[in-house]
Amino acid sequence: MSDKAKWDARYSGVEIFPRQPSDFLRENRDALPRCGLALDLAAGAGRNAVFLAERGIEVIALDISEVALQKCLQFARERKTTVAAAVVDLKYFNIPANSLDCIVNFNYLQRDLAPQITAGLRPGGVLIFESFTADHLRWKPDFNADFLLRPGELKEMFRNLRLIKYREATVQSGQGFKSVASLAATKLK
């Protein structure tokens, strides 16, 4: 089964997807730009994209799943805001250099995107990134270890950005516990 088919099937189910933004994004809302253009990588059903749009930021939500992005657009309409969306496989996507005021990336790890993410931010642009660490295997032993961050790896991936906040922790989520590395950083002017 292709990645697209797998994610379309997951988002086609009756599962209720979170409507609240990721906690780490909400906790770092004061670091976000007040306007400009944001990219939500692997946006899923759009909870973070809609949160950014409600703050007055133009948002482009990217995901491999058309079904997920339809949910994202519906959620934006319900919240009386606008999000642009594009179905893309991020393995074949190029982030335009110096084009974005904000990039958010939650629960998705594609290591070779890190240089593009850094280059894609305008000076003063903000990155909010959170993904699972190797410790997450305690909670989900069947998780593919290729998509888990090693200790200190996230900070190293974005070493050319100025850190606002960084943590590696186990946090409670709506589905139990998860072990994550979380980073808020800005591109120097």
Domain ranges of the chain: 3-11+25-186
The pLDDT score that the predictor gives to residue 89 is 96
DSSP characters for 129-175? Answer: EEEEBGGGGGT-TTS-GGGSBPTTHHHHHTTTSEEEEEEEEEEEETT
Distances (CA, A) of 34 to 52, 55, 77, 92: 9, 7, 21, 30
Bridge pairing between strands 100-106 and 121-132: parallel
Q: Are 121 and 100 in contact (CB under 8 A)?
A: yes
What pLDDT score was predicted for residue 112? 96
**pTM of this structure:** 0.93
Percent of the chain surpassing pLDDT 70? 98
More confident residue, 7 or 37: 37
> For the residues 32-51, what does the mean pLDDT come to?
97
CATH of domain 3-11+25-186: 3.40.50.150
Q: How many helices (H) and strands (E) does the chain have?
A: 6, 7
Distance of CA 146 to the CA centre of its chain: 18
pLDDT band at 37 (very low <50, low <70, confident <90, very high): very high
| CB distance 47 to 18 below 8 Å | yes
Residue 40 pLDDT: 98
Contact by Cβ (8 Å): 123, 188: yes
Read off the pLDDT band of 16 (50, 70, 90).
low
**Cα 11 to Cα 66: distance, rounded to the nearest angstrom:** 9
* pLDDT score for 144: 86
